[in-house]
Amino acid sequence: MIRRGTTEHLRKAIDLLTEGRAEWLRHEEKGWASITFTGARHTVTLGFHGLQAVEAAEHFITQLPEHEFTIPGQLVADATISAVDHTMLPEPHMVVTAELLLLEDN
Protein backbone atom coordinates (compact mmCIF):
# COMPACT_ATOMS: atom_id res chain seq x y z
CA MET A 1 0.00 0.00 0.00
CA ILE A 2 1.31 3.46 -0.90
CA ARG A 3 1.76 5.69 2.12
CA ARG A 4 -0.33 8.80 2.37
CA GLY A 5 1.70 11.70 1.10
CA THR A 6 3.95 9.73 -1.28
CA THR A 7 2.50 11.52 -4.30
CA GLU A 8 3.10 14.90 -2.70
CA HIS A 9 6.71 13.97 -1.89
CA LEU A 10 7.25 12.81 -5.48
CA ARG A 11 5.77 16.00 -6.91
CA LYS A 12 7.95 18.14 -4.64
CA ALA A 13 11.07 16.20 -5.67
CA ILE A 14 10.24 16.62 -9.36
CA ASP A 15 9.53 20.32 -8.84
CA LEU A 16 13.01 20.70 -7.34
CA LEU A 17 14.59 18.73 -10.18
CA THR A 18 12.85 20.95 -12.76
CA GLU A 19 13.82 24.11 -10.88
CA GLY A 20 10.12 24.89 -10.39
CA ARG A 21 9.70 25.67 -14.10
CA ALA A 22 7.40 22.78 -15.01
CA GLU A 23 3.66 22.99 -15.45
CA TRP A 24 2.02 19.75 -14.30
CA LEU A 25 -0.19 18.59 -17.17
CA ARG A 26 -0.96 15.06 -15.98
CA HIS A 27 -0.08 12.67 -13.17
CA GLU A 28 -1.35 9.10 -13.14
CA GLU A 29 -0.66 6.52 -10.45
CA LYS A 30 -1.26 2.80 -10.92
CA GLY A 31 -0.65 0.08 -8.34
CA TRP A 32 2.18 -2.32 -9.09
CA ALA A 33 3.22 -5.61 -7.48
CA SER A 34 5.57 -8.53 -7.98
CA ILE A 35 6.10 -11.61 -5.85
CA THR A 36 8.49 -9.71 -3.56
CA PHE A 37 7.64 -6.01 -3.96
CA THR A 38 4.64 -3.69 -3.98
CA GLY A 39 4.42 -0.11 -5.07
CA ALA A 40 3.07 2.12 -7.80
CA ARG A 41 3.98 3.26 -11.28
CA HIS A 42 3.70 7.02 -11.74
CA THR A 43 3.36 8.63 -15.16
CA VAL A 44 3.89 12.38 -15.18
CA THR A 45 3.57 14.80 -18.08
CA LEU A 46 5.15 18.21 -17.64
CA GLY A 47 5.01 21.31 -19.82
CA PHE A 48 7.89 23.78 -20.09
CA HIS A 49 7.25 27.19 -21.69
CA GLY A 50 10.00 29.64 -22.64
CA LEU A 51 13.76 29.36 -23.07
CA GLN A 52 14.70 29.07 -19.38
CA ALA A 53 11.99 26.49 -18.77
CA VAL A 54 13.14 24.42 -21.77
CA GLU A 55 16.69 24.54 -20.39
CA ALA A 56 15.29 23.23 -17.09
CA ALA A 57 13.51 20.47 -19.05
CA GLU A 58 16.77 19.47 -20.72
CA HIS A 59 18.40 19.29 -17.28
CA PHE A 60 15.48 17.17 -16.00
CA ILE A 61 15.80 14.77 -18.95
CA THR A 62 19.51 14.20 -18.36
CA GLN A 63 19.31 13.99 -14.56
CA LEU A 64 16.15 11.93 -13.96
CA PRO A 65 17.48 8.41 -14.65
CA GLU A 66 20.33 8.74 -12.11
CA HIS A 67 18.67 11.08 -9.61
CA GLU A 68 18.69 9.88 -5.98
CA PHE A 69 15.17 10.56 -4.72
CA THR A 70 14.48 10.91 -1.00
CA ILE A 71 10.86 9.88 -0.48
CA PRO A 72 9.96 8.55 2.98
CA GLY A 73 9.14 4.83 2.91
CA GLN A 74 9.73 4.57 -0.84
CA LEU A 75 12.50 3.47 -3.17
CA VAL A 76 12.51 4.80 -6.73
CA ALA A 77 13.40 1.60 -8.58
CA ASP A 78 13.16 3.03 -12.09
CA ALA A 79 12.87 6.53 -13.55
CA THR A 80 12.83 7.05 -17.31
CA ILE A 81 11.77 9.59 -19.89
CA SER A 82 9.19 7.99 -22.17
CA ALA A 83 8.32 10.90 -24.49
CA VAL A 84 9.54 14.38 -25.44
CA ASP A 85 7.81 16.89 -27.72
CA HIS A 86 9.95 19.96 -28.44
CA THR A 87 9.00 22.99 -30.54
CA MET A 88 10.91 26.25 -31.01
CA LEU A 89 8.36 28.55 -32.64
CA PRO A 90 6.64 30.79 -31.86
CA GLU A 91 8.54 30.30 -28.56
CA PRO A 92 10.51 27.41 -27.07
CA HIS A 93 8.17 24.80 -25.63
CA MET A 94 8.71 21.24 -24.43
CA VAL A 95 6.39 18.55 -23.12
CA VAL A 96 8.10 15.72 -21.25
CA THR A 97 6.56 12.46 -20.05
CA ALA A 98 8.36 10.46 -17.37
CA GLU A 99 7.65 7.05 -15.85
CA LEU A 100 8.70 6.31 -12.27
CA LEU A 101 8.34 3.04 -10.39
CA LEU A 102 8.15 3.53 -6.62
CA LEU A 103 8.45 0.52 -4.35
CA GLU A 104 7.57 0.33 -0.69
CA ASP A 105 10.74 0.33 1.39
CA ASN A 106 9.79 -1.57 4.54
10 has pLDDT over 90:
yes
Spatial distance between the Cα atoms of 65 and 68, rounded to a whole number of angstroms: 9
Q: Where are the domains of the chain?
A: 6-84
- Tally the C-alpha atoms within 13 A of residue 36's C-alpha that lie toward its C-beta: 0
pLDDT band at residue 5 using 50, 70 and 90 as cut-offs? confident
Question: What local confidence, expressed as pLDDT, does residue 15 receive?
Answer: 96
Q: Residue 33 has what pLDDT?
A: 92
pLDDT at 4: 52
From 28, 31, 22, 55, select the one nearest 44 (Cα to Cα): 28
DSSP for 17-78, please give it: HTTT--EEEEEEEEEEE-SS-EEEEEEEEEEEESHHHHHHHHHHHHHGGG-----TTEEEEE
Mean per-residue pLDDT of the chain: 93
Q: Within its chain, how far is the Cα of 4 from the centroid?
A: 18
Residues facing residue 97 across a β-bridge: 45, 83
pLDDT by residue (tens digit) across 20-59? Answer: 999 999 999 999 999 999 999 999 999 999 999 999 999 9
What separation in angstroms does the CA of 46 have from each of 6, 23, 38, 81, 94? 18, 5, 26, 11, 8
Whether pLDDT at 1 is above 80: no
Q: Quote the percentage of the chain above a pLDDT of 70.
A: 96
